[in-house]
Structure 1
Amino acid sequence: MTSSRPDTVTSSEPPTAAAGRRAPARKGKDGRGNPYPYLFYVPAGIVYTVVFLVPTIMAFYFSMTRWTLFDSTFVGLENFTDFFAEQNLRIGFQNTLIYAVTTSGLKVVLGMALGVVLTSRLKMRGFLRSVVFFPVLVSTVAVGITFSVLLKPDTGLVNKALALVGISGPDWLGDANTALLSVALVDVWKGVGLATVIYIAGMMSIPRDYYQAVAVDGGSAWHRFRYVTLPLSWPATNSVIILSFIGGLRSFDLIWTMTRGGPGFTSDVIASIIYKQYQAGFFGLSTAGNVILFIVVTALVVPLTRFLSAREVAA
């Protein structure tokens, strides 16, 4: 008599082998799986192509043409040679670099100082944070018009306030020696709030254990700033420098509102020279100027970013 057993289907593979046949997860450069399919990148890619790549390619093309709204004539590199022959170009390049370095440097110093103060146990620090950030929300044109009135030599409140303490204020925007610096200080006043917010975010992410360790070792407030806050807030410093420097190189609206490049051409920057070419109807020439400005900004910012990133890794 034979015993009957239900037939069982056996597999030569262990149970884990079948599970291992699943499609492997996509891996990034760090070796970890990518949780998102590449299809998710398509919308961002389309927006980037339409908003950035296509206008950039068109700008490079039209910079080599003499164009109007309805037609264009290819002229090669003639627009670039004419732009470099512009008599005020040297002053524009010089002022652009001075303006960018001055504004970015002051925003770093003042933003870090305000960040330290506004992350302390100061009373009403929430209100003070709002006050510091408020100028960022105001229109740049409105700020320029307001300070143009405040800095007038005879009727401006700035010179009137200086007169109360016996100081004769200069013509801030009408003097070639003070015009560009005056606009740069207004730019710092308007933009330091954003730098402060970046620093506040960076400083609040620093673990408190580091400060406690310095306190245990008998360190003062200076030691906490020098050995903890300053090096560990370097990512914030990196961001502020890059954003402020790019903004300074591209700055136009505040300078044009307050001085229009004057007196004479002493406060002209690259962007204001380009705009004057647009006003004169030289569209191809001004487009070539925009391409040159794009190349200059890229040539300065890319190595600066690499340098600052290397410092960040070392820190």
Structure 2
Amino acid sequence: MASTMAQVLPDLDRRRGRRRKRRTGTDPFARRTYPLWFHLPASLLYVVLFAVPTFASLYFSLTRWTLFDVTFIGLDNFVQFFQDPQLSQSLVHTLIYAVVTSGAKVVLGFALALLLTSNLIGRGYLRAVTFFPVLVSTIGVGLTFKVLLDPFDGVVNQALAALGIAGPGWLTDPNLALLSVALVDVWKGLGIATLIYIAGIVAIPQEYFEAARVDGAGAWTVFRSIIFPLSWPATGTVIILSLIGGLRSFDLIWAMTKGGPGFSSDVVASVIYKQYQAGFYGLSTAGNVVLFVIVAAIMIPLASYIGRRGVES
């Protein structure tokens, strides 16, 4: 009996000690596992809203499917997608569109941010006006500019005609259609780029500017040595967001040109949508997977480079 009690008492002491550690927060295991519970809600949302749809898309891209029937066909959808003569042209258009829109947003956004962080009269009002296009529906912007850029009755060409200039077919000329839509995209998204740059410039410590004034540095020296390098995090953010938006752009292009005239302003997303409209659901799903891979292949190395450059600077 005494030996049994001698065995039981240490076990009770150990259990009491573990419970005491849990209550007081001194148990190392409890300290490691407790924070993990806070990740559970976000993990569930990630699985439901991202992981499951992603794997479902990968599966359906390997099938010929409708709402009532699914037939597994392997990689046939991808083979057919890459044999589409519109694809190579739409890939080039997508890259041109993304580079033009992101480059213009970086340059113009930086210039506007410099202007709107200076001692300018009505600075707050001008900031609001610059950001206003971001709040407008993309489809509404597209339809509005489709009317404004009409080659015959559009306000833009009528204004040019009043100056004695023959306006071009902004959306009907195959050589101008894609760039015209890109310029509208820049006008609509410039407010976001400007806002990011304003935040980046305002976040620069004032001590740098005070030291530059003491040293007698001019405006160009301040821009080149302080504002430009220390705004690199904002520049990286604008580049990444603009490129992702440009590579995935669809709604503005569809509202203004529907990929026309002909296929001159078709991008990958519009080709995918046309296949969906034609009832090739598996083929359009495969196209979405291809677009996802293209965006990831471009953005992951670029984001890594921007991150390293930001650390070095």
TM-score, length of structure 2 as denominator length: 0.90
Matched length: 291
Match of 2:26 in 1: 22
For 1:168 and 1:216, how far apart are their aligned partners in 2?
54
For 2:30 and 2:102, how far apart are their aligned partners in 1?
41
For 2:178 and 2:29, how far apart are their aligned partners in 1?
56
**Equivalences for 1:102-251 in 2 at 5 Å?**
102-251=100-249
- CA spacing shift, 1:146–1:21, aligned 2, 3 Å: closer
The answer to whether residue 98 in structure 2 is matched with residue 100 in structure 1 is: yes
- CA spacing shift, 1:21–1:43, aligned 2, 3 Å: closer
- Give unpaired runs (5+ residues) of structure 1: 1-17, 28-33
**SS at 2:85's partner residue?**
coil
How far the C-alpha of 1:165 sits from its partner, in A, is: 2.0
How far the C-alpha of 1:93 sits from its partner, in A, is: 0.2
- CA spacing shift, 1:37–1:124, aligned 2, 3 Å: same
- Give unpaired runs (5+ residues) of structure 2: 1-20
For 2:30 and 2:161, how far apart are their aligned partners in 1?
70
- CA spacing shift, 1:25–1:134, aligned 2, 3 Å: farther
More helix by share: 2
Specify the code of the residue in structure 2 equivalent to 1:258.
M
TM-score, length of structure 1 as denominator length: 0.89
The worse-fitting range, judged by mean Cα deviation, of 268-277 and 41-50 is: 41-50
- CA spacing shift, 1:221–1:66, aligned 2, 3 Å: same
Match of 1:6 in 2: none
RMSD between aligned residues: 1.8
For 1:21 and 1:308, how far apart are their aligned partners in 2?
41
For 1:277 and 1:149, how far apart are their aligned partners in 2?
27
How far the C-alpha of 1:24 sits from its partner, in A, is: 4.9
Match of 2:12 in 1: none
For 1:54 and 1:128, how far apart are their aligned partners in 2?
44
The answer to whether residue 78 in structure 2 is matched with residue 80 in structure 1 is: yes
Specify the code of the residue in structure 2 equivalent to 1:189.
W
The superposition leaves residues 264-291 of structure 1 with CA deviations (integer Å, 9 ceiling, x where unpaired) of 0011000000000000000000000000
The superposition leaves residues 224-254 of structure 1 with CA deviations (integer Å, 9 ceiling, x where unpaired) of 1111111111101010000000000000000
For 2:217 and 2:161, how far apart are their aligned partners in 1?
45
After the TM superposition, which parts of structure 1 deviate over 4 Å for at least 4 consecutive aligned residues? Answer: 24-27
Match of 2:5 in 1: none
Match of 1:15 in 2: none
How far the C-alpha of 1:313 sits from its partner, in A, is: 1.0
For 1:252 and 1:118, how far apart are their aligned partners in 2?
31
For 2:30 and 2:274, how far apart are their aligned partners in 1?
52
- CA spacing shift, 1:202–1:21, aligned 2, 3 Å: closer
Match of 1:312 in 2: 310
**% identity of equivalent residues:** 61
